[in-house]
Chains A and B, each alone.
Chain A
Amino acid sequence: MKRFLIYLFIICFPLAATAATRPDNVYFRAMNDEMQRSLQQLHLKDHPNPYFVSYWIFHNHRWTILADMGALAPDVYNQPDDGDIVINAFLSVGSDKQDGLGFVENDQYPRWQYATQLPKKYDVPLGYESLRQALWTATDRAYLQAAKLYQQKKSYKKKKNIQDNLPDVMPTSPGHFVEEIPPFVSPDMPQLRKQIEQISALGKKYDFLESFEVYVRGGQQDWYFLNSRGAFAQYATKEIIVFLTAVFRQPNGKIAEVYKSVLLRDTSDEELARVKQKAQNFLSQVERARVAKSGSAYVGPVLLKPKAAARFLDQTLLSDLQNSKPFLLNFSDDDATAGKLYKKRDLRVSTDLLTVYDRPNQRSFDGFELDGFFPIDGEGVKAEDLTLVQDGYVKEFPLTQRPLAKNHRSNGHARIMDVYGPRERLTSVFVEPKYALTDQEMEDKLRARCRELGLEYGYILSESYPSSDLGIERIYTKDGHKETILNLDWDSSFTARDLRAVLAVGGTQELVTDANLVTPSILLQEAELVPVEHKPHRQPFIARPK
């Protein structure tokens, strides 16, 4: 039955996609009208016309709550329905054979995409004219920039005698993804404010705390996309996240500010109880860390909990799987932002203990919405799930319509990031173990390795940047007891080689939101931790008020 459903999905999805019709609403009417006008009429003397236009409109709805030490902040930080409308225009001149993209004029202002912003409360759908006006402004600026870059790229290629056998663009069929956008509904703000206020009041029990801020940000982002090749998309994504921030003085006077983020599935009482528990744990951790001793230099095995593992994986693998096609740079022969693994195709790059996937079509993990959900990419191509690394070998790369080889085909991974044009990017990355160990087994393995090396203790890192006064624990080889340690950081010069020195991979996956990564813990054979020196601060002139 399961197999049948999968087949049915595979067969039906393309049909559904081709059958999708472009929504008829104010966003699409405004985008289409301005797009048609621009393609037909936008022209600068002696410059090529635009041949490709695409628009993204993000209608962002946000609500926020902020409380500190049991006091709710004023309304400006407690908004039931805030946000904005961001309009992005992306435009190309010339032709598929030669356009102006992929060339960077200078490193100060690498701009291909133009955005304009409207306040969220512009009462769309009545705001057709406002949207048109914003699209018009962004399109005009994008065209002038595209026309300039086209000429510059042409001159640069001539100067450097670059003769491409490949066209600049190899078009792939336009993708469609349409969902009904649910109306945005704010949570029950008075009730939620009260609950957040109460969570922040937990800080009052700790007389060393100067501040314990609980900031909740939730919202919905409505996505509207249209390009001149016929691709379109409409859908909505949601997110709720809590940031806990504590400020305190260590006994030596050092002022420390530590934070933790917690994702929420919704604003139910169960989820808020979970946040409250996390806040309580966080404060206990802070209390321990306040009086913890500083660590000294260490070389040996280290257990990276998911957040720390995310930083390690980004450094050693993920950043080099992206941006495979280097930019032509007017100011350098080498594009330092380009990933290096594309040239190492079919070579072993990693331990075989883990498999790495990229899943743009997966919407959530463990009930949490994924930021990397991206059914249609920035070039309007349907995004495909990828197996990036298997058995230690790179299998697939994210690809755009900008070819890397003759038989090139985009797999829908063009992301237009900030002011950059489309580049090969990852979406939601999943790391899965070959042999999953429990958390206890991972710790046991760490201690066993320490014992082999004659080390008194090993380390467990649970934060991306452990030098931030939290997130470093020493585990003693002999009896396994743990102790919080301060003022250490890892030597961040990990290379791809370290990825082959992984001893074990845990079985409990966790979503690391900052990195769009779902990963278990990773035990490294060896890492270097170095002491971080902080200058202490003087004690307050007068005592903290009661």
Chain B
Amino acid sequence: MRKIFFMYFALVVGISPLIAQENCKVEDEIPLRLMSQELKRSINTFKKLRPSVYYLSYTYEDKQQTNLSVKQDGLDNEQNYYSRLEAFARAGSPKMDNTRPLKRESNYDRKFIFKFNYASPLAEDATFFKLSLWRSAQNIAEAAQEEFARVQTDSRAAATRQDDSDDFVLPPVSHYCHTQETVRFDTDKIGQMLRKASELTRGLSFIKDSRFGLSIEQGHRYFADSQGTQLKTPFLFVRLDYHISNQLLDGTELSRSKTYDVVRQDQLPSEEQLLADVKQSIKELEMLTNSPEADPITVPTILKNRAMGVFVHEVLGHRLEGHRQKQDSFGKTFTSKIGQTVTAPFVSVVDDATLTLFNGQPLRGFYEYDDEGVKARPVTLIENGVLRGFLMSSSPIEGFPVSNGHGRASFGELPVARMGNTRLIASKTVSYSELEKQLLQEIRSQNKPYGYIIEDLSGGFTMTESSMPQTFKLEPKLVYRMYPDGRKEVVHGADIVGTPLVSFGQIIAAADDDAVFNGTCGAESGWIPVSAISPSVLLKSLEIEKTAKNDNKPPILPSPYSLPKGGKK
């Protein structure tokens, strides 16, 4: 079973503030020079091998990472510098190569990328970096030949492919160099602010644990391939966040959290603002702790803007990724629906990874070139309710022969088509208060006992393999019931479930309150930063089911940090 996750709290966090601007020369960049030299030295020999290794690429990444973490009164401040190298090879030909998914065997143990976890080209002499390039190319070329042999056998023995498009389209040659200066933050000052915030969780019996953190990741990515492409692009992800949690006696886990994605220190919340937000989250956690549990039901529901962003990502976005239209192991929900109406006529969806900001808020789904060296560009997926396109990597599909710059992967993974900044645009909107009125009308006209407002959710997953039901599940963290008399009540333990075609067709109205959800998406090509932008939306009907519970009881004694202040130390 393949699940695709969209997470609020993830291993890699942050946003990209960078404005695309070429400001250096690729020929001056040592890593690019060394990688290109080795590619030139090897590719002609590699092409003559049998089977031919017809394409090679290197990615080198240097990264500075700072993590500040406060738990209770302890503060951890960790700073690291990484430099990593990966090599990728294609054996066979673009028509059929080693990357083709196997039909009759598992694809989980396949080796596409060779990684060196340390390989700095900036040492006084570059002997080791050159050796690393040579060793990694040799290693991955051998692996590519072995994989290609598996593909050949599999393609002869397996059932015919529905979409027999080529495995690869050679990307256009690009040269681009963008250097970004290191951005600095006063971590001492931020640490003190986080400590004060953590202090607010002391002495509260309904808080089992808490964490307050700041994460900064910045650096550059260098890409060179045997076609001659040479790219240097920067990345910067900065996030301040916190998470407070509780567990009920029946195992239900409750939490409140908040993130602030910024690019400069002056964009971080002020201490006053942070403390106010934490107080509000504490209040919400207390309300959740004392709230009733939700029951399974199908009712009209408002998905607030950021929650709707996740809904778009999970329910629609993953199913519009190119490779999911090609491989027969996927459900292909939308493959044959190009030109057909799939949602309300006032709804359009685009994915534009070139956007850096939305309403002043940085978008972490921004990038200049994708992980296959293809320039990012905006893609219209749905126009006025009609399906128009797919997200494409360099693996073509019927009717979509080239990449549109969405081949993405985390370090060490094989790129596939993934989202960047996905945006739902409503051409007909109302104010949010009007949307709530429309919800009330729906509740009454459908004669339902109540409706739901999904205020916040932590993420979710969707299943896209044909062997599994084509369903999705989203995990709300703050949910209100709205009764026919307009009264609102917090409940806990409500998950959203459904199938994509039905659920996306349920949109009946949208508000004018577009907002951004910055997150990290996990799928077969690893964890990547993404953004989803959406207004709040009213769905005619949505199915709610109970949340899974933890089988373990909460700890027998209360957290020592929850004991009244001034206790024994």
Contact = CB atoms under 8 A, between A and B. Distances in A.
A129 interface: yes
Contacts of B561: 129, 132-133
Interface string B34-46: 0000100110011
A73 B556 contact: no
Contact of B134 (A77, A119, A140, A544): A544
B143 to A, nearest CB: 13
Interface string A42-79: 11100000000000000000000010111111111101
B49 A541 contact: yes
A126 interface: yes
Interface residues of A, number: 52
A225 interface: no
Interface string B177-212: 000000000000000000000000010000001000
B447 interface: no
Contacts of A43: 556
Contacts of A71: 120, 123-129
Contacts of B427: none
A397 B123 CA distance: 54
A136 B118 CA distance: 38
A1 B305 CA distance: 86
Contacts of B557: 37-38, 41-42, 136, 140
Contacts of A124: 74
A116 B159 CA distance: 51
B555 A140 contact: yes
Contact of B82 (A44, A76, A121): A76
Interface of A is mostly: mixed
A122 B135 CA distance: 40
Interface in A352-397: none
Contacts of B125: 70-71
Contacts of A70: 123-125, 127-128
Given A42-B556, A74-B83, A132-B560, A33 B118 contact: no
A93 to B, nearest CB: 13
Contacts of B133: 545
Contact of A76 (B73, B80, B559, B568): B80
Contacts of B42: 541-542
Nearest to B125: A70
Nearest to A120: B76
Contact of A122 (B75, B81, B568): B75
Contacts of A348: none
A158 interface: no
Interface in A178-198: 197
Contacts of A140: 555-557
A127 B73 contact: yes
B98 interface: no
A16 interface: no
Contact of A118 (B74, B77, B130, B569): B74
B560 A133 contact: yes
B142 interface: yes
Contacts of A44: 556
B141 interface: yes
A533 interface: no
Interface string A202-243: 001000001100000000000000000000000000000000
B438 interface: no
B73 A126 contact: yes
Contacts of A119: 69, 76, 78
B158 interface: no
B30 interface: no
A85 to B, nearest CB: 9
A74 B120 CA distance: 7
Contacts of B82: 74-76
A205 to B, nearest CB: 11
A42 B555 CA distance: 10
Interface string B310-352: 0000000000000000000000000000000000000000000
B150 interface: no
Interface residues of B, number: 48
A359 to B, nearest CB: 37
Contact of A121 (B38, B78, B141, B559): B78
Contacts of A489: none
A34 interface: yes
A130 B555 contact: no
B178 to A, nearest CB: 22
A210 B568 CA distance: 59
Contact of B131 (A34, A129, A131, A545): A545
B134 A545 contact: yes
A538 B129 CA distance: 23
Nearest to A26: B569
Contacts of A197: 123
Contacts of B134: 540, 542, 544-545
A533 B75 CA distance: 53
A540 B45 CA distance: 11
A327 interface: no
Contacts of B80: 75-76, 79
Contacts of B45: 541-542
Contacts of B41: 542, 545
Interface in B243-263: none
Contact of A29 (B62, B81, B129, B569): B569
A143 interface: yes
Contacts of A29: 569
B488 interface: no
B81 A72 contact: no
Given A130-B74, A132-B560, A73 B131 contact: no
A204 B135 CA distance: 15
Contacts of B130: 545
A74 B128 contact: no
Contact of A69 (B128, B141, B560): B128
Interface string B125-154: 111111101110010011000000000000
A362 B64 CA distance: 43
Contacts of B175: none
A122 B62 contact: no
Nearest to A41: B557
B71 interface: yes
A122 B76 contact: yes
B72 interface: yes
Contact of A37 (B77, B209, B560): B560
Interface in B73-125: 73-83, 118, 120, 123-125
Given A42-B557, A74-B118, A74-B120, A69 B127 contact: yes
A130 B72 contact: yes
A137 interface: yes
B555 A137 contact: yes
A123 interface: yes
A69 B82 CA distance: 18
A118 B211 CA distance: 12
B209 A133 contact: yes
B38 A545 contact: yes
B73 A68 contact: no
A72 B123 contact: yes
A462 to B, nearest CB: 29
22 contacts: A29-B569, A68-B118, A70-B124, A71-B127, A71-B129, A74-B118, A77-B118, A119-B76, A121-B75, A121-B78, A122-B74, A132-B72, A133-B560, A140-B556, A143-B556, A210-B131, A540-B138, A541-B49, A542-B134, A544-B131, A545-B133, A545-B134
Interface of A: 29, 33-34, 37-38, 41-44, 66, 68-77, 79, 118-124, 126-133, 135-137, 140, 143-144, 197, 204, 210-211, 538, 540-542, 544-545
Q: Report, nearest first, the 7 A-B pairs whose CB atoms are least far apart.
A: A130-B74, A71-B123, A122-B74, A75-B81, A127-B74, A129-B72, A71-B128
Given A70-B125, A123-B75, A541-B138, 17 more contacts: A33-B568, A37-B560, A71-B129, A74-B62, A74-B118, A75-B82, A119-B69, A119-B76, A121-B75, A121-B77, A126-B75, A127-B73, A127-B74, A132-B561, A133-B72, A541-B141, A542-B138
